[in-house]
Homo-oligomer: A and B are copies of this chain.
Amino acid sequence: MGTSSSGRAQRVDARANRGRILDIAEEVFGKGGESASTEEVARLAGVGIATVFRHFPTKAALLQAVLVRRFDRLREQAEALLDTTDPGIAFFDFFRHLVADATTKIAIGEALLDAGGDSDGEAAQASNGLRRAVGALLQHAQQAGAVRDDVELPEVYALLVATSRTAAHAGLKDRVLSIVFDGLAPREGTEK
Please list the residues of chain A having a beta carbon within 8 angstroms of any beta carbon in chain B.
151-152, 154-155, 158-159, 161-163, 165-167, 172-173, 175-176, 178-184, 187-189
Specify the chain B residue showing the minimal Cβ separation from A151: B179
| Complex Cα gap A155–B182 (Å) | 14
Out of B152, B167, B175, B179, name the residue touching A180 (CB < 8 Å): B179
* Cβ-closest 10 pairs across A and B: A183-B183, A162-B162, A179-B183, A155-B175, A182-B183, A188-B188, A158-B166, A158-B176, A155-B176, A162-B166
Q: Is the CB of B166 within 8 A of A161?
A: yes
Specify the chain B residue showing the minimal Cβ separation from A179: B183
| Complex Cα gap A68–B51 (Å) | 53
